[in-house]
Structure 1
Amino acid sequence: MQGEKPLTKAQRLALVFRGAGTRWALPASSVLEVAPPPEPGQQGAATRRGLVTEDFSGLLGKRAQRGLGAVTLVLDHAPPRALLVDAVEGVSDLATAPFFHLPAALQAPAGALIRGAVLLGSGLVLELVPQKLAELQPCRPPKAALDGLPEGKPTSPPVRALVFEAGEGELVGTALPLVTGVLRVAGLCPVPQAPLGHLGLLHHERSLLPIYDLGLLSGRARGGGDLAVALDIAGSAVGVAARRVIGVVEGFADRPEPAPGGQVCTDGDGRAIFFPAWDAWFPGAG
């Protein structure tokens, strides 16, 4: 969704930096100083202003990916706060950058820290709220798996379904009317503290599409792949990661078997295909 109050002249210039595995934009007017990082082994050392340096990635429950570009951002706040980030990319003018609100499922975990996402060039950047960043406390890591997927209730299989491979040899099917497209995934924008299984945001057709991995959602290994099947689940757009698309399949056996989070149907070639009950996997959709 686009559309937001215009940024003031002071707000439109943003410092773009990297940390916690993603890219961020912070109004340049809210930064007092860009200072050198602490010396190796001196994490938490005081800056020349006497401020204790805190690890921005650590506050968000992520491991820093720090190299030679690491710097300390001193926030213009009472009192000031010093945050160590992975790197600064530069200063950008957000006045004409397309702005997007986060999808509903990401708004609660992100809290008020993230105003939304902006499109800079060909990549998404998460826009921070300065006051909330200055008040940020350490976040708990997301839970490791869904709280027990309910046993699916067998229903009549769809007449036609799109079948794709979500993991090694794992075939997944979904009713064709739910499918809005198949996309190649590149340049995802991760969102720290996002719900379980969320890989990142993809800019697609003037909107944001959240991409999820079914393996991670169920507490298993990530399925991998550079494709995503875009679905309309109860009015919400969701992308599911896929290794490859098998194609449109029809002619399923009449007696599906129940399985946690859905049902298993057999096609005319004898292949077992898992059909998720999407509302159980994405209860926040709709």
Structure 2
Amino acid sequence: MSLPSDRKALLFSAGGVRLALRLAQLREIVAVPEAAGEVIARGEAVPAAFVSTVLGLPGGRCPFALLTEGPPRVALRVEALHGIVDLSEAEFFQLPARTPLPQPPPFAGAIVMGGAVTLELSVGTLGFAPLEPALDAAEPPPDLGLAAERELRFARAGREYAVPLALLLQVLEEPALAPVPLTPPSHRGLLYHGRALHPVVDLAVLYGGAGGEGRTVLLLDAGGAGIGVVADRVLGVGEGGEDVLRPPWDALFGG
């Protein structure tokens, strides 16, 4: 039987990313001076880890320290607190397989409440130094060059791509994406849709481009799991030129 503290979590943020920590792992929350190194709690000096630094996120004011149970005990410096939630009222997900992270991963999973995605920290894997992010493959995917009988074409960062219509589940305009720190540059975040979490990939980055903002996400079927692909826009019938990239979708989604 799980303890009540296992069924509740503290929500907070670091580097602008929403995070969570189970109450079973939390000993105390203290307000600390901005310049403090070690955190002193009840006469005990506890080493501090700035969560934004460890996760490679932009730094900022960190006026709160979350003292963990350990071992070892550590004070997690964070930006803001957002309250305690009952996980029986939330959905909990393992992170999708197509969400590459350093190993062991710094996140135990994701919590979704009211459609908002929050990453649950895995405290034992954090340490104090910045973690090395996962990287994209050194070589871009090959271009298959073979047109499907029915396909959808879309534009992304100055290139045109084609995907078989048989793989297309839905076209979503301006969906909310939750960023995942330490993923490769091509990983744009997590999409909560249809009561499931889907990783979103930017082909422009995989093919050596700069990427940037894309307002459309094509939700594709990757062997029973959904994966989002960023697009600038869907091309109309007869629109576009001869230079079209057709990635190896099965191999791409299997990474």
Which TM class, normalised by the smaller chain length?
0.7 to 0.9
Report what 1:72 is aligned to.
65
Deviation at 1:123, TM superposition (A): 0.3
Q: Say whether 1:158 aligns with 2:177.
A: no
Q: Say whether 1:275 aligns with 2:240.
A: no
1:77-96 superposed matches below 5 A = 77-96=70-89
Q: Is the 8 A contact 2:108 2:122 kept in 1?
A: yes
Q: Is the 8 A contact 2:99 2:183 kept in 1?
A: yes
Q: Say whether 1:148 aligns with 2:119.
A: no
Report what 1:18 is aligned to.
13
Cα distance per residue 1:179-221 (max 9 Å; x no partner): 1111134332212222441111111111111111122223421
Q: Is the 8 A contact 1:26 1:128 kept in 2?
A: yes
Quote the sequence identity (%).
Answer: 33
Report what 1:190 is aligned to.
179
Distance 1:159 1:123, change over 3 A: same
Unaligned runs of 5+ in 2: none
Deviation at 1:234, TM superposition (A): 3.8
Q: Say whether 1:225 aligns with 2:217.
A: no
Mean CA deviation greater in 104-113 or 207-216 = 104-113
Q: Say whether 1:207 aligns with 2:178.
A: no
1:236-255 superposed matches below 5 A = 236-247=225-236, 249=237
Distance 1:112 1:158, change over 3 A: closer
CA distance in 2, matches of 1:63, 1:268: 41
Report what 1:104 is aligned to.
97
- TM (normalized to structure 1)? 0.77
Residue 61 of structure 1 aligns with an amino acid whose one-letter code is G
Looking at CA atoms only, which structure, 1 or 2, has the larger radius of gyration? Answer: 1
Q: Secondary structure at the match of 2:40?
A: coil
Q: Secondary structure at the match of 1:23?
A: strand
Q: Secondary structure at the match of 1:24?
A: strand
CA distance in 2, matches of 1:120, 1:192: 20
Q: Is the 8 A contact 1:163 1:172 kept in 2?
A: yes
Distance 1:234 1:89, change over 3 A: same
Deviation at 1:128, TM superposition (A): 2.8
Q: Say whether 1:46 aligns with 2:35.
A: no
Unaligned runs of 5+ in 1: 1-5, 250-266
Q: Is the 8 A contact 1:60 1:193 kept in 2?
A: yes
- TM (normalized to structure 2)? 0.85
Residue 28 of structure 1 aligns with an amino acid whose one-letter code is L
Residue 66 of structure 2 aligns with an amino acid whose one-letter code is L
Q: Is the 8 A contact 2:14 2:51 kept in 1?
A: yes
Distance 1:120 1:269, change over 3 A: closer
Report what 2:110 is aligned to.
117
Q: Is the 8 A contact 1:223 1:241 kept in 2?
A: no
